[in-house]
Amino acid sequence: MANPSTTNAFGPHLMLDLNGCNPEKLKDFDLIFDILNELPDKIGMTKITQPYVFKYSGLVPEDKGITGFVVIAESHISIHTFQEKDYVFIDLFSCKDFDYEYAKEYLINVFESKNPMVYTTMRGLDFPRHNAPTKDT
């Protein structure tokens, strides 16, 4: 993936569709909170809120799971687990480059996914970038 600092892109978006996960991990509220709380530091991001995590049990009983997100200065990280289906969706979106290989491997390993699908894209390819003012200007 191209480095956003060398393109006009706003930044990278890593999307993980993790299937065949350990169902115990998908229903572990504390694990989801800890991932969202610690991952920003692990990938050089700036957490500006505490993670917001909640259990979900909606109209379709087998869709129950845990949803959480954390707002980072660079954008956000979100996790949506489906414990009855051994599945989790994860998004990491940032306005600056980050080590997506590390993030990808870390998350696949944490959830023990047997069938990960990974998508990466650069967002805002025509985003107007302006250089920050320097001390001399």
Contact 10, 127 (CB under 8 A): yes
Q: Comparing C-alpha atoms, which of 16, 46, 12 is closest to residue 110? A: 16
- Catalytic one of 13, 21, 80, 113: 80
CA–CA gap between residue 79 and residue 90 (Å, rounded): 5
Per the annotation, the verdict on 21 as an active-site residue is no
- Catalytic one of 13, 21, 75, 113: 75
CA–CA gap between residue 123 and residue 96 (Å, rounded): 11
- Catalytic one of 13, 78, 94, 95: 95
| φ/ψ of residue 113, rounded to 5 | -70, 130
Contacts of 33 (CB under 8 A, 6+ apart): 51, 53, 68
Per the annotation, the verdict on 80 as an active-site residue is yes
Return the active site residues. Answer: 75, 80, 95
